[in-house]
Amino acid sequence: MRTLYFITSNKGKFLEAKEKLLPLGFSVVQKDLGYPEVQAESLEDVALQGITHVRMGFHEPFMLEDAGLFIEALHGFPGVYSKYVFFTIGLPGILRLLSGVKERKAIFRSVYAYSEPRKKPIIVFGECKGIISMKKQGTHGFGYDPIFIPDCAEKTFGEMTVEEKNQFSHRAKALEKLINVLKDSK
């Protein structure tokens, strides 16, 4: 069993990753080291800055993840600012911004960054297209899950179990790519 540290304070992200990696022989350990989430142009920039920061004091193989919700009617907002927006205006604020808007297309994007000492970081991406619901629905998941309905689904991420969510999730798609890279590096 290979130990892989997941640098995150988010229990939901950790549980999603652990669920996917455990059957593949990875023991995933949550490590809340904290790192500054710079306000950058892209999720990749945020992840690479996180890698650089964590590498200064942590010398084991680790991964971190950053994600954003990009709403078409809001010209991609909140995007890379999703965490900040979530903690300032929350779901009610996003729903207010979309009040009266019929076109509610959105994309969840995720980037996983994987690091081993003295090696170039590995960056992988995943995305999930969907729409923003008219109201908050469900109590599962975290963040924007209760207002995001993925394409080909009838309920929000907030109404899905972890297993159901992982069938659609941007994070799960990016993690699948990372798993393939890690399998090839054994």
Supply the residues annotated as catalytic. 66
Say if strands 148-150 and 105-115 run parallel, antiparallel, or are unpaired: unpaired
Nearest C-alpha neighbor of 43 from the set 97, 103, 108:
108
CA–CA dist 108, 114 (Å, integer): 20
Residues 132 and 123 sit within 8 Å (Cβ to Cβ): no
CA–CA dist 23, 42 (Å, integer): 32
CA–CA dist 14, 4 (Å, integer): 11
Q: Is 25 left (phi over 0), alpha (psi -120 to 50) or beta?
A: left
CA–CA dist 76, 105 (Å, integer): 10
Amino acid sitting at position 161: T
Tokens of 99: 């009040």
